[in-house]
Structure 1
Amino acid sequence: MNRLLWRNIAQEGRDFHFCRHSSFSLSSEPHCHDFAELFLLSRGKIGHCVNGETQELAEGSLALIRPDDVHFYRKNNSSPCELLNLAFPLKLVREILRFTRRLERLNGILNAATPPFLVLGVEEKTQMGKLLSSAGTALSINPAEGTAQLRGILAEILSCKFCAQDAIGRPAQEESSSWLADACRAMRQPQNLRKGLPALRKLACRGPEHICRSFKAQLGVTPTGFINEARLDFAAAQLASSDSKMHVVAREAGFANLSHFYHLFSARFGMPPAAYRKKLQRTAIPLSGQRADGKR
């Protein structure tokens, strides 16, 4: 049996690998891997065998394949299909669940006989497919921006979908609180990040107490905590891909207080913003005395 290794498929330094499979002319071989894998069946039907159990996946099926799950796909001659595949190290799942205070759900996700699986409604499937495709494209053009987008998408899926009671190890219906997922997604837009809580309340169309209860119950964080996390993701992408001055990056991310930005950024990434930029930024136009990899 083939065991796929993260070091053989991922580009060095990246946390994600995205691929779109637009057709299955042959059934795949049984395999497992040392990384986690998220897939969305965005079109058609396909057979899926995992850990000895056969599933007939319908359009909109969303599943999280864990390291060492043995699975393969079986073609459906009557149905052309499209599969969006996102691979990433398991450590990202731990990091996200720890941040959203859902780490206690990790054992349930890892130890269930079958992987977490659910079926999205038509509108949500379409929207999720567009988000994954857009972020996957961004990953190849601007790795820092694509990574920030994919971390947000993965956090939403883990917290709002697979950590829901019905979503561990068996099919689940579409979440009733789709307004929360929609609001979280929209809040990652720069114009909303700058406005902060007022923008979130407007997007959610609900009262402050209702919003706060929902965030704590479903995401394990306060609305302010979520906004700060999204702002830091945006700031990290800007630091890695632009030469904007530090106060400009902070302001564009929605931080009015520069020292507060420094404090939160250092706590999240383990280094000050300037050190993060020096470590990750690459440029095709080296400055005087600077190599193309950003080093002097």
Structure 2
Amino acid sequence: MQRPPVILSHADILAPGACAALTRAALTPARPALHGHDFYELAWVQNGRVRHHLPEGREDLVEGDVIFAGPKHLHGLQGRGADALLVSVTLHPALIADLGARHPALAGRLFWADAPAPLRLRRDSRQMAELNRAALRLERGRRDALGAEAFLLPLLCALTEETAPLPAEAPDWLARACAASRAPDVFHDGASGFARVAGKAHPHVSRSMRRFLDMSPSDWINAQRMDYAARRLTGSADSLSEIAAECGVPNLSHFHKLFRQAHGETPQRFRRARQRDVVQPG
């Protein structure tokens, strides 16, 4: 007879008055039993590969994968190889409830999504460096609500900007692909890059995008390209041709057309206005 899963309690992990606790764990290759918890957990692969066991199957995680697990989720984590290192942050349920109440933009997303399994998102090397610096500050600093929010809010803000507001019935792979496609190495390759990170055939990806987001993969990718282009135009002195090539749109005429559609003005006007106003406000 199968034993019921162990349910971990935040009272056994968090110190009195603490809202967060950070753990670094070298995972063994032994197959784990599924467990649950009454708290929220943010975890990411720091090194190596990790197998994530779920009631309905399993998935392989690699460096840069981040998971958001809630109280109703059962899962287990297994190292794949000798160097599997996982960073896990235990978050008090009252902290997450309070953040959700104060920030309506979080509704239906991340910890506040009504998902049957932990949400998995992808961070690139730069984003992982930022996350690890924030984790180090949390590890060395205060663990109360203020310290926990200082760690968590920048990440939540970035992710809510990056992730599409998908309906609850949308598949997890689509949410992960939408998040991953914010990275230049994905959107540079256009719709084929989106299909690659989705791990699905292009026709299936297109049908799903139409159903859940009412747009094509190319529409989504071009939006990510133009968002990236706007940041580069404001924050660098690189030429339009360099930025367009980074975006995967080397044809400058087409780049101009996409940018005007997205931002309502030419790239040159956009850059002049923002860089001037930063240096010398009118």
TM range (shorter): 0.5 to 0.7
2:15 is paired with a residue whose SS is coil
1:97 aligned onto 2:100: yes
Residue 54 of structure 2 is aligned with which of 45, 50, 63? 50
1:133 is paired with a residue whose SS is helix
* Partner in structure 1 of residue 25 of structure 2: 21
AA at the equivalent of 1:149: A
Give, in whole Å, the separation in 2 of the partners of 1:139 and 1:120: 25
TM-score normalised by structure 2 residue count: 0.54
* Partner in structure 1 of residue 278 of structure 2: none
* Partner in structure 2 of residue 190 of structure 1: none
- Deviation of the 1:154 alpha carbon: 5.1
* Partner in structure 1 of residue 72 of structure 2: 68
Conserved? CA contact 1:39–1:86, under 8 Å = yes
* Partner in structure 2 of residue 258 of structure 1: none
Give, in whole Å, the separation in 2 of the partners of 1:52 and 1:14: 33
* Partner in structure 2 of residue 155 of structure 1: 156
Conserved? CA contact 1:113–1:169, under 8 Å = no
Give, in whole Å, the separation in 2 of the partners of 1:99 and 1:122: 31
1:28-56 CA-to-partner distances (Å, cap 9, x unmatched) read: 33210011101011211110012322001
Residue 36 of structure 1 is aligned with which of 35, 40, 50? 40
Conserved? CA contact 1:109–1:168, under 8 Å = no
1:80 is paired with a residue whose SS is strand
Alignment identity in percent?
16
1:65-107 CA-to-partner distances (Å, cap 9, x unmatched) read: 1102111012212x51221101113333333233332254159
1:73 is paired with a residue whose SS is strand
Change (3 A) 1:97 1:174: farther
Q: Where does 1:183-262 land on structure 2 (aligned, <5 Å)?
A: 205=234
TM-score normalised by structure 1 residue count: 0.51
Runs of 4+ residues deviating >6 angstroms: none
- Deviation of the 1:145 alpha carbon: 6.2
Residue 141 of structure 2 is aligned with which of 138, 143, 148? 138
* Partner in structure 1 of residue 9 of structure 2: 5
1:234-293 CA-to-partner distances (Å, cap 9, x unmatched) read: xxxxxxxxxxxxxxxxxxxxxxxxxxxxxxxxxxxxxxxxxxxxxxxxxxxxxxxxxxxx
Conserved? CA contact 1:97–1:159, under 8 Å = no
1:76 is paired with a residue whose SS is strand
- Deviation of the 1:130 alpha carbon: 2.3
Conserved? CA contact 1:46–1:58, under 8 Å = yes
Give, in whole Å, the separation in 2 of the partners of 1:50 and 1:95: 28
- Deviation of the 1:7 alpha carbon: 0.9
- Consecutive unaligned residues of structure 2, counting only runs of 5 or more, are 185-230, 236-262, 264-282
Give, in whole Å, the separation in 2 of the partners of 1:136 and 1:152: 16
Give, in whole Å, the separation in 2 of the partners of 1:139 and 1:108: 22
Q: CA RMSD in A?
A: 3.6
Conserved? CA contact 2:69–2:111, under 8 Å = no
Conserved? CA contact 2:27–2:85, under 8 Å = yes
AA at the equivalent of 1:33: H
Change (3 A) 1:204 1:65: farther
Conserved? CA contact 1:117–1:168, under 8 Å = no
AA at the equivalent of 2:79: K
Give, in whole Å, the separation in 2 of the partners of 1:147 and 1:107: 16
